[in-house]
Structure 1
Amino acid sequence: MRRIIAALVVSVDGLIEGPNGDLDWIETWEDPFDLLPQIDTCILGRRMYPGYEQYWRAILADPAGVLPLTGRVATKGEIEYAQFAEQTPHIVLSRTLDRVDWKNTRIVRDVEEIRKMKQQPGKDMHAVGGATLVSSLMNAGMVDEIRLVVTPIVLGEGKALFKAVKERHALKFIEAKPLKSGMVRLTYVT
């Protein structure tokens, strides 16, 4: 059976966005989770999808251009991820979104459709985010692994990653890996 790996960047205080939805504290959007070799599908929520598509398509259109979300030029790792994302199937979980424009992307209406996908052959799936998507998948008992890259910043206010999780989930610690950037990757299984 395929696994779903929720992998997100968080602040030390467990937030994934600042108080106004700001993400300027995240230095790069390349893959600090070391996931690309083991996944063949990305899962996103309705709120995250438009910005995700815009960011990666902007890199593909002009790898040396200034990016809309960060105001900087893409890193080598971000260019590699953009190329990966262009070729990889994406699922957007939404009851309200009418259409998606990026090739290899489709909308599913219910987490049970994702559960059926887990039963199909293939590599693991990456729950990219956001918080509502990850909480929905956790509440349905579908997250098999959690990888958090903790950025050395305290935001104080903002959006908590696990705010909408309805019950306690005991996690088994697998690994803590310091990254060259000063961040730490934590890996747990559910």
Structure 2
Amino acid sequence: MSLSIDGFVSGPNGENDWIFRSSDETSRAWVVERSWEAGLIIMGRKSFEGMAPYWPTATGPFAAPMNEIPKGVFTQKGFKGVDLPGTDSPAAASWVGAQVFDGDLAEEIKKLKSQPGKPICAIGGAGFMSNLIATGLIDEYILVTHPVVLGKGLTIFNGATQPMDLKLADVKAFPGGIVARTYRI
């Protein structure tokens, strides 16, 4: 999860253009490499609906993992799928065929974690991430701090119901000023 130095994951209205200003070739390669470690990418409905039309035709370095790794979409308000041009393309298949989870978030996450396979990677907006944090079921946090101060915006840790003691597992600094910290429970 990308965040500003002052702890915001987006501006007050969801603005996130600042994320790309400090990225560099090294940080992008690191994110792509980490992405391939996931066996499933999960996100909330709003993020899914925003990303699904974009990724199947994208060509940048993130396109392959975003299109090839299976997806799961979590919703409390129902989900009818998305209309994608060229839905028969391999790139669109993981978006069109995304698993939909509309039950209790904690129960659904417990079921997913009990299955064999590679780790689950959660991406998306502040609301979904905050709700996910509140379940207490996250094993690892990868917090990517960008060299920007937003002053106000949306945070993800407002969903924590009690203090969390995390163990720093790794720190990686990049030429553009981004610092990635991996914490484990």
TM-score range (shorter-chain normalised) is 0.7 to 0.9
Question: What secondary structure is seen at the aligned counterpart in 1 of 2:181?
Answer: strand
Match of 1:89 in 2: 70
- The 3 A distance-change label for structure 1 pair 20 and 130 is closer
Q: Which runs of 5+ in 2 are unaligned?
A: 83-94
Instruction: Check whether the contact 2:170–2:182 (CA below 8 A) recurs between aligned residues.
Output: yes
Q: Deviations over 1:157-180 (max 9, x none)?
A: 111121222221111111211012
Q: TM-score, normalised by structure 1?
A: 0.78
Q: Name the structure with the higher helix share.
A: 2
Q: Does 1:160 align with 2:155?
A: yes
CA distance in 2, matches of 1:25, 1:87: 26
Bigger relative CO (Cα 8 Å, ≥ 6 apart)? 1
CA distance in 2, matches of 1:46, 1:165: 21
Residues 79-158 of structure 1: pairs in structure 2 closer than 5 A: 79-101=60-82, 102-109=95-102, 110-111=104-105, 112-158=107-153
Match of 2:12 in 1: 19
Match of 1:178 in 2: 173
- The 3 A distance-change label for structure 1 pair 124 and 11 is same
Task: Report the residue type matching 2:99 in the other structure.
Answer: R
- CA drift of 1:30 comes to 4.7
CA distance in 2, matches of 1:115, 1:51: 26
- The 3 A distance-change label for structure 1 pair 136 and 189 is same
CA distance in 2, matches of 1:173, 1:180: 21
Q: Name the structure with the higher strand share.
A: 1
Question: What secondary structure is seen at the aligned counterpart in 1 of 2:54?
Answer: helix
Q: Which runs of 5+ in 1 are unaligned?
A: 1-7, 64-78
Q: TM-score, normalised by structure 2?
A: 0.80
Instruction: Check whether the contact 1:16–1:159 (CA below 8 A) recurs between aligned residues.
Output: yes
Comparing 37-46 with 144-153, which one deviates more in the overlay?
Answer: 37-46
Residues 67-82 of structure 1: pairs in structure 2 closer than 5 A: 79-82=60-63
